């Protein structure tokens, strides 16, 4: 699928050992209504941590494809069937892909159809805007767009209440395997990040054995086009700059870090695997996004396998989960004129470009200028950083008090 610059084999091109067919729609479309939504129930041991790395290849040799997990097999086979059945707004062919020359390592892809045919964004005027059932929402999607219901095995350890999540196709896909993770649509939740939804997103990354499966979130004003709670998940067979970008700690306990490298400074949260550490990360991230939402500050979030904080490099081992949070200028309505719009994947270094002309002429400097134009002014960025550091210190005090009261 990708150009010669690709460092990985796309999961859609790999064989699956799974024989499960319950995730596929019946051959006759008249039977789709009665098909129901199949469940994908996962166990603790399916949350994969060790051994998921980008393959090392000798120059001129193809990569060894990673074996796909059960989650990957189910998602890819069901997604591919929906593409073959024409349930998307356009057929996603091979995407031209290039790594822009320069220090950042931007991965640019030409996706003309998405730029032309994606749904027009809703009329949003506030980061805190309420859900409006009259606007488009995920209760109004077509039969067949939902792939499966994702939920944990009953009794799986974890302090957070895990919500059932519908995994559905994004009908205007960025890449193959592009899905939406949507908590129960009937609840009518606005696009404000909740711990249960974030936990499902992080665990989806851990359920995949492909290092290029990532999950992200756009707030209102951060280019979310639908005000109904959802996260994005998709495969990209490329390393991205944020996986191993260096960072510095912002608090003595090392709970909050500042990602210093280009393309954009962001707040880095890290966990080495499932368990209490990951639950604490989810709580910490949602405290931060609550602060930003309450203060009308738009934001984008990206979840990827990555290296631990500190002095890392683009080739560092993927030893845990990185969650990167960017506060940014609010942007409402349709944005035209730029080579790309700046949201969760662009801030991470993946640039879906709208036109052939922009794709052939785009430079690292031009991409950085577009991204940095969307960031907060320095004074406001410092104010946000101070607030998040204070929230982290407050959490540390509360944890210490709980520890004392437990004795």
CB 254 within 8 A of CB 309: yes
Residue 258 burial (10 A CB sphere; 0-12, 13-18, 19+): middle
Residues 6+ apart with CB under 8 A from 282: 160, 195, 198, 199, 202
How many residues appear in the chain? 407
CA distances to 46, 164, 294, 335, 359 from 42, rounded to whole Å, are 6, 12, 34, 39, 40
Q: Rounded CA gap, 244 and 316, in Å?
A: 6
| 230 catalytic per annotation | yes
What are the structure tokens assigned to 358, written together?
């922009």
| List of long-range contacts for 274-280, beta carbons under 8 Å, 24+ apart | 274/44, 274/47, 274/49, 274/203, 274/206, 275/157, 276/159, 278/199, 278/202, 278/321, 279/158, 279/159, 279/160, 279/199, 280/255
Q: Rounded CA gap, 313 and 395, in Å?
A: 30
| Catalytic residue of the set 210, 230, 257, 299 | 230
Residue 15 burial (10 A CB sphere; 0-12, 13-18, 19+): exposed
The single residue listed with the structure tokens 């892809």 is 109
Q: Rounded CA gap, 352 and 310, in Å?
A: 29
Q: Rounded CA gap, 235 and 237, in Å?
A: 6
Q: Rounded CA gap, 193 and 361, in Å?
A: 36
Handedness of CA 350, 354, 360, 361 (dihedral sign): negative
Centroid of chain to Cα 99: 20
Handedness of CA 369, 97, 232, 171 (dihedral sign): positive
Residues with a catalytic annotation lie at 230
């Amino acid at each position: 699928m990708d150009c010669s610059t690709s460092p990985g084999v796309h999961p859609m091109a790999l064989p699956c050992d799974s024989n499960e067919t319950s995730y596929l729609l019946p051959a006759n479309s008249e039977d789709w209504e009665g098909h129901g939504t199949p469940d994908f129930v996962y166990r603790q041991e399916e949350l994969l941590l060790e051994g998921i790395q980008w393959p090392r290849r000798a120059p001129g040799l193809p990569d060894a494809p990673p074996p796909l997990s059960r989650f990957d097999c189910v998602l890819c086979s069901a997604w591919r069937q929906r593409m073959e059945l024409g349930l998307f707004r356009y057929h996603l062919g091979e995407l031209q892909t290039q790594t822009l020359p320069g220090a950042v390592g931007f991965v640019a892809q030409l996706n003309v159809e998405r730029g032309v045919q994606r749904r027009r964004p809703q009329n949003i005027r506030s980061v805190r805007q309420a859900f409006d059932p009259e606007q488009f929402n995920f209760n109004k999607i077509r039969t067949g767009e939902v792939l499966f219901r994702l939920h944990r095995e009953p009794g799986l350890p974890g302090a957070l209440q895990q919500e059932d999540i519908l995994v559905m196709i994004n009908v205007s896909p960025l890449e193959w395997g592009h899905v939406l993770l949507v908590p129960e649509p009937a609840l009518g939740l606005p696009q404000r990040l909740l711990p249960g939804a974030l936990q499902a997103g992080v665990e989806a990354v851990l359920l995949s054995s492909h290092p290029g499966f990532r999950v992200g979130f756009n707030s209102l004003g951060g280019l979310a086009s639908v005000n109904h709670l959802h996260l994005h998940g998709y495969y990209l067979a490329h390393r991205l700059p944020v996986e191993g970008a260096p960072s510095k700690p912002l608090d003595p306990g090392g709970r909050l870090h500042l990602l210093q490298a280009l393309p954009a400074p962001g707040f880095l949260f890290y966990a080495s695997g499932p368990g209490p550490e990951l639950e604490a990360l989810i709580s910490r991230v949602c405290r931060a996004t609550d602060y930003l939402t309450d203060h009308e500050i738009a934001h984008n979030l990206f979840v990827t396998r990555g290296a631990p904080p500190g002095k890392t490099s683009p080739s560092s081992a993927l030893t845990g989960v990185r969650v990167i949070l960017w506060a940014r200028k609010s942007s409402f309505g349709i944005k035209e004129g730029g080579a790309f719009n700046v949201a969760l994947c662009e801030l991470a270094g993946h640039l879906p470009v709208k036109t052939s002309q922009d794709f052939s002429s785009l430079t690292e400097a031009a991409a950085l200028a577009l991204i940095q134009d969307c960031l907060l002014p320095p004074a406001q960025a410092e104010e946000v950083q101070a607030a998040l550091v204070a929230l982290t210190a407050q959490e540390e005090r509360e944890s210490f008090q709980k520890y004392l009261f437990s004795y």
